[in-house]
Structures are given as C-alpha cells and as structure tokens.
C-alpha cells in the first residue's frame, strides 16, 4: 500500500503540479532571452516596414491610375510636389522649406547656419550651411540634419533625414525659397569621413544641392552625402 502511494506521489497528478512553476519559469526566461535579441532591432524594422508599406501603396496607386497618353496638343504640367500615394503636397512654408516626396520629408529650413554651431537650428528644422549658396543663387546649396535608427528619437531629435538612405539616383528633391520652387534630381551618394569638409566650401557656377546626415544612422563615425543637380523645367 505504501509503495503504491509512493508511485502516485512521484508520477501521478501531484508531480505534474509541482513541475508547472519550473516549466513556466523556463518559458519566461526563454522569452526574455529572445526579447533581448530581437528588441534592439524592432525600431529599425518598424521604420523600414512603414516605408515599405508606403512604397507598396504608391505602386498599387500608380498601377490602378495609369491613364491613357494625352494628345500631343495637350501640355503636360510637371508637378514634383506629389506624395507617394498621389496626393498633392503643401509645403510647410513658402519662405524656405525642403520637400522630398519619396520619403515623406516636408520640413522648414533654417537659413545661414554656422556649420560649427547648429544644435538650435536642427531642433526646429533642416539647417542651411552659411558657407553655401541660397537656392536663387548660382552655386551649391548645402543642407544638413539629424538621422537616427530609433523611432522614438525621430521626434526627439527632429531627425528629418532618418530615411535619406532610401533615396536612389533620379529621385526628386524640392526646395521652396521665397515662394519659388527649385527642383533637383539626385545624382549620387557618398559616405565620407567627418574630417572631409571640402564640400562645405562655396561652389560657384552650378546650381546644385548637397544633403548631409550622420552615418550609420544613430552614429557620428561617418557622413552620408547626397548630391543633386538642379532640374531645369
């Protein structure tokens, strides 16, 4: 009789109840371990997935709204201020602002910022280097802003350029200055060391645009530069 109760105690229902806390603890530790590995990349995945969804929606919209070619007698109106979903973009202001339709940038530009003292300017908008030209002048416009790889820092840092890396050759960038639109087409991108500051030297004789942000996102070890040429409409 005693041996029977020992078997029931060791292998019966009671033993299952005794092993449940240990099993639950093991599962909890496993979940914490997986969370520790996956957690740091979740913000980046959210940023990239959001961008991918917008691009997919834009592709579907473009496919569904393909129109028949217009007669040659009908003039084609070029409007670069169109979002990925086909909606018209209203610039945040007409005094000085930057619009990059592909990545959803629509931000004010702070003019004539000292490249060595820019913290305050970047908290309210994109900074225009005082060493460069303005859009209505015959030279290179140089703009810079923060980037980040953490979604919660986009708002805190005003990281306007956090998706700059997703731009490709041929993408359009629009500057609005004193009520006029200046459209540029992306030509190339470069990653350079922070000590390479020759790009900040005024470049006269050609209307162009340079955008700068930190690289990799969230780091200050290098700089990502995008070069765009003025598009004559």
For the chain, domains (ranges, CATH) are: 1-76 (no CATH), 80-230 (2.40.260.10)
Q: Is the pLDDT of residue 69 over 80?
A: no
CA-CA distance, 218 to 163, in Å (whole number)?
Answer: 12
Position with higher pLDDT, 4 vs 83: 83
pLDDT at 89: 95
pLDDT confidence bin for 11, thresholds 50/70/90? very low
Q: What is the pLDDT of residue 30?
A: 63
Taking a C-beta distance cutoff of 8 angstroms, is the pair 110, 145 a contact? no
pLDDT digits (tens, 9 = 90+) for 123-162: 889 999 999 999 999 999 999 997 765 554 555 566 788 8
Q: Which residues of 108-118 are buried (b: 16+ CB within 10 A; e: fewer)?
A: bbbeebeeeeb
How many C-alpha atoms does 18 have within 13 Å on its Cβ side? 7
- Does this model's pTM top 0.85? no
Long-range contacts of 130-133 (CB under 8 A, 24+ apart): 131/200, 131/201, 131/202, 132/200, 132/202, 132/203, 132/210, 133/202, 133/203, 133/204
Distance (Å, whole) CA 231 – CA 105: 19
More confident residue, 99 or 233: 99
Residue 199's pLDDT band, with cuts at 50, 70 and 90, is confident
- Has residue 81 got a pLDDT over 50? yes
Residue recorded with tokens 């000590």: 195
pLDDT the model gives residue 197: 87
- What pLDDT score does 5 carry? 46
Residue 142 and residue 159 in contact, taking contact as beta carbons nearer than 8 Å: no
Residue 56 has which token pair? 């997919």
Instruction: State residue 212's pLDDT score.
Output: 94
pLDDT digits (tens, 9 = 90+) for 16-47: 444 556 666 666 666 556 556 555 555 555 55
CA distance 227 to 205: 15
The whole-number pLDDT of residue 16 equals: 47
Nearest to 184 by CA among 224, 135, 225: 135
Q: Report the alpha-carbon distance of residue 224 to residue 148 in Å, rounded.
A: 12
Looking at residue 60, what is its pLDDT? 54
What's the mean per-residue pLDDT of the chain? 78
Q: Which helix (H) or strand (E) holds 99?
A: strand 96-100
User: Alpha-carbon distance 151 to 159, whole Å?
Assistant: 9
With contact defined as beta carbons under 8 Å apart, do 47 and 151 qualify? yes
123, 153 contact by CB (below 8 A): no
Question: Is cis: bond before 2, omega within 30 of 0?
Answer: no
Confidence of residue 54 (pLDDT cuts 50, 70, 90): low
Where is average pLDDT lowest: 7-11, 70-74, 103-107? 7-11
- Per-residue pLDDT of 166-184, as tens digits, reads 999 999 999 999 999 999 9
State yes or no: pLDDT of 13 exceeds 60: no
């Amino acid at each position: 009789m005693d041996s029977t109760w020992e078997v029931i105690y060791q292998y019966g229902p009671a033993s299952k109840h005794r092993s449940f806390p240990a099993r639950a603890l093991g599962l909890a530790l496993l979940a914490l371990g997986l969370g520790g590995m996956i957690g740091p990349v979740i913000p980046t995945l959210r940023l990239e997935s959001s961008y991918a969804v917008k691009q997919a929606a834009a592709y579907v919209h473009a496919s569904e709204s393909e129109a028949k070619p217009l007669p040659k007698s009908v003039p084609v109106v070029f409007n670069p201020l169109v979002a990925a979903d086909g909606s018209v973009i209203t610039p945040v202001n007409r005094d000085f602002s930057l619009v990059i339709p592909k990545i959803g940038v629509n931000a004010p530009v702070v003019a004539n910022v000292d490249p060595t003292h820019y913290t305050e300017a970047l908290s309210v908008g994109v900074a225009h280097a005082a060493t460069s030209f303005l859009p209505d002048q015959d030279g290179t416009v140089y703009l810079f802003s923060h980037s980040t790889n953490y979604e919660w820092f986009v708002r805190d840092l005003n990281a306007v350029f956090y998706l700059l890396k997703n731009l490709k050759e041929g993408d359009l960038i629009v500057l609005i200055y004193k009520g006029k639109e200046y459209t540029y087409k992306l030509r190339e991108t470069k990653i350079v060391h922070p000590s390479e500051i020759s790009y900040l030297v005024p470049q006269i004789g050609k209307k162009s645009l340079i955008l700068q942000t930190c690289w990799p996102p969230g780091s200050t070890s290098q700089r990502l530069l995008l070069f765009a040429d003025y598009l004559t409409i």
